[in-house]
Amino acid sequence: MIYSRIAGTGRYLPERILTNADLEKMVDTSDEWIRSRTGIEQRHVAGENELTSDLCVNAAKVAIEEAGITVEDIDLIVVGTTSPDLIFPNIATIIQHKMGIPACAAFSIEAACTGFIYALSSADKFIRSGDTKCALVIGAEIITKLIDWDDRSTCVLFGDGAGAVVLQPSDEQGIISTHLGADGQYKDLLYYPVGVSSNLAAAGTGDSRIMMSGNEVFKVAVKTLSAVAQEALDANGLSLEDVDWLIPHQANLRIIQATAKRLDMPMEKIIQTVQIHGNTSAASVPMALDVGIRDGRIRRGQTLLLEAFGGGFTWGSVLLKY
């Protein structure tokens, strides 16, 4: 049986840090409000000329080095993002060119905050089918370019970053199962009102900002994230005691706490980065994974449950042996 296994990880955060104190000078908010409602203390914001593909390249370089491979080994690139450099060509091809990766399949997936989970699940299927020998999988966003910096209800939440993973085939157990889902009836609760076939003329104007019904999203997020974790465990006949680390989408510390409570999972077994990264959408899970690996908490042989939830709504999980 072929499994796909994580051979290396990496992350990259833009240099500029925006603190809650900085935001207090921009909108009518306070450090106390942001911390108590979201847990967020700071977030990274990309520079004006920085592109999402630049963040991806920096994260991918680290993952490639960690995996002990070269760019020549890569034969698939999958990127989850909502904030690509361009509408086309897809960002995976831009990354391929920037990194000198030889011709191979390269595509991006748009599933909002669940983008990386969708990308990892897709790459897993390519590897297990035998089509792919080495996949570069990335979750990345420069979501702050979609922010209305006068809208205090959203501008305090989001940050930029990229997380990358190198995935290779292995006889040893790696990815155990993946579960993806979506329910388009919730579109109006969380969306960005500019696209190609609708409202293109509004791009860059005051009408183009993230539209979110925070309270409603919060409730569905908690319900879905606990159900998604349970689904992965049930499918494999496991219980939460069998999981060493839960790595959920980092949208809001209160969402993570409420999910943990519903699952009866101790917070000590949950990797948390929302405090220092903010909500980085598709980048949040791979960056949290990398943080846990780098600081030595996540070790080889441990069982990890990755999960995310985002606009659409979309959701998904990846259960794996690291």
Q: Token pair for residue 25?
A: 């000078």
- Does position 38 interact with ligand UT7 (CB under 6 A)? The reply is yes
Q: Which residues pair with 105 in a beta bridge?
A: 76
- Does position 192 interact with ligand UT7 (CB under 6 A)? The reply is no
Stretch that binds ligand UT7, among 71-79, 97-105, 133-141, 208-216 (CB under 6 A): 208-216
- Does position 287 interact with ligand UT7 (CB under 6 A)? The reply is no
CA pair distance 212, 63, nearest whole angstrom? 33
Among 22, 29, 107, 297, binds ligand UT7 (CB under 6 A): 29
In this complex, which beta carbon is closest to ligand UT7, that of residue 33 or of residue 192? 33
In this complex, which beta carbon is closest to ligand UT7, that of residue 8 or of residue 312? 312
- Does position 279 interact with ligand UT7 (CB under 6 A)? The reply is yes
Give the three-class secondary structure for 112: helix
In this complex, which beta carbon is closest to ligand UT7, that of residue 41 or of residue 75? 41
Among 46, 56, 167, 221, binds ligand UT7 (CB under 6 A): 221
Question: DSSP per residue over 287-310, as a string?
Answer: HHHHHHHHTTSS-TT-EEEEEEEE
- Does position 251 interact with ligand UT7 (CB under 6 A)? The reply is yes
In this complex, which beta carbon is closest to ligand UT7, that of residue 126 or of residue 313? 313
* Total chain residues near ligand UT7 (CB under 6 A): 20
Under 8 Å CB-to-CB from 185, ≥6 apart: which residues? none
Stretch that binds ligand UT7, among 148-156, 161-169, 257-265, 294-302 (CB under 6 A): 148-156
- Does position 36 interact with ligand UT7 (CB under 6 A)? The reply is no
In this complex, which beta carbon is closest to ligand UT7, that of residue 154 or of residue 199? 154
Stretch that binds ligand UT7, among 56-64, 163-171, 175-183, 215-223 (CB under 6 A): 215-223
CA pair distance 241, 269, nearest whole angstrom? 10
Q: Looking at the annotation, which residues are catalytic?
A: 113, 249, 279
- Does position 285 interact with ligand UT7 (CB under 6 A)? The reply is no
Burial class (CB in 10 A: 0-12, 13-18, 19+), 38: buried
Question: DSSP per residue over 228-290, as a string?
Answer: HHHHHHHHTT--GGG-SEEEE--S-HHHHHHHHHHHT--GGGB---HHHH-B-GGGHHHHHHH
- Does position 217 interact with ligand UT7 (CB under 6 A)? The reply is yes
Strands (E), 110-218: 135-141, 161-170, 175-182, 190-191, 211-212
Q: Could you tell me if 202 and 39 are in contact, meaning their C-beta atoms sit under 8 angstroms apart? A: no
Within the chain, residue ranges assigned H as helices are 20-24, 31-38, 52-67, 91-99, 115-128, 152-155, 214-235, 253-263, 274-277, 284-294
In this complex, which beta carbon is closest to ligand UT7, that of residue 221 or of residue 246? 221
70 to 129, contacts with ligand UT7 by CB under 6 A? 113
H/E stretch holding 7 reads: strand 3-12
54 to 73, contacts with ligand UT7 by CB under 6 A? none
- Does position 226 interact with ligand UT7 (CB under 6 A)? The reply is no
Where on the chain is the footprint of ligand UT7 (CB under 6 A)? 29, 33, 37-38, 113, 152-153, 156, 190, 212, 214-215, 217-218, 221, 251-252, 255, 279, 310
